[in-house]
Amino acid sequence: MPPNEHLFLRLDSIPVIGAKRKAFFTRLVNGDSIFDLLSHLPSTVLRRTPVERLSSALDNQLITCLFKVETHLANSRRGVPYRIVGHVLECSQQLELVFFNPYASFLERSARQGSTIVVSGKLIVKKLHGMDSYQIVHPDHMGFLDTFDAWIGTERVYPLTAGLTQGIVRSAVDFALAKLNDISEWIAPETMSRFRFPSWKEAFLEVHAPQSVLDLSSQTPVKQRLAYDELFAKQLAQHYFYGAAAK
């Protein structure tokens, strides 16, 4: 297969998409090719902070911590949430994980009593008898200790549609990015230098790896490079179309 020809393959050629999720992705990216998927860009950036101690300053922030599971408090009646009570491993501060309409057997397997797991999600700080209490409602992640590094730092967020999650979309995009190859540069060197354009491959890799909201601006060299390519491609197509029509 010639370099980057895979970009014109159908979306269902990506394993995480397949026939099962093809319709969802087609609706999401308004197209049916892998190139359409790579043209679906992150809309914002989140930051998950690793913590060893909780405080009110972390209210409504995304945190990741090591969590020692103490006990499960099953919901005894409808409308009462399921709670997993434990503490942050390094400081013994109590933390509750709260779930509404959960699968109890799944939670019991994911957070076994007495185990230490990685938990990541939005911290909620409440006042209880004049003291701070800490909760995470429906954590984004509960997993083994070796997953800690994957849940800290910046995190790109894509626009979604029903039936898809951030994890599934990121996996599909990462699969497509991993297959990109370098190609011969078609932009003049002086233009590349003047506008500080990255290479074509670097542009796609960087546009899907924003480190802050500033990287989402349409004025960045990365976004400008991709816009330049799109405009050039349209002009080239028009040239061939009108040239063929003239004949």
pLDDT for position 82: 94
pLDDT for position 75: 77
pLDDT for position 187: 92
pLDDT for position 122: 97
Task: Tell me the β-bridge partners of 32.
Answer: none
Instruction: Please give the C-alpha separations between residue 118 and each of 53, 144, 203, 232, in angstroms, as whole numbers.
Output: 14, 6, 33, 47
The total of other beta-carbon atoms located within 10 Å of residue 25's CB is 25
Rounded to two decimals, what is the model's pTM? 0.80
Helix axes 18-29, 166-178, angle to 10 degrees: 90
The total of other beta-carbon atoms located within 10 Å of residue 178's CB is 8
Per-residue pLDDT of the chain (247 residues; tens, 9 = 90+): 556 788 899 999 999 999 999 999 999 999 999 999 999 999 999 999 999 999 999 999 999 999 999 999 987 777 789 999 999 999 989 999 999 987 889 999 999 999 999 999 999 999 888 899 999 999 999 999 999 999 999 999 999 999 999 999 999 999 999 999 988 888 999 999 999 999 999 999 999 999 999 999 999 999 999 999 988 888 877 766 665 555 5
Each residue of 179-231: pLDDT tens digit?
A: 999 888 889 999 999 999 999 999 999 999 999 999 999 999 999 999 999 88
Largest CA distance in the chain: 84
pLDDT for position 107: 93
Element (H, E) at 82: strand 82-88
Beta pairing, strands 94-99 & 116-128: unpaired
Taking the C-alpha atoms of residue 119 and residue 68, their distance in angstroms, rounded to an integer, is 10
79 neighbors 91 (Cβ within 8 angstroms) = no
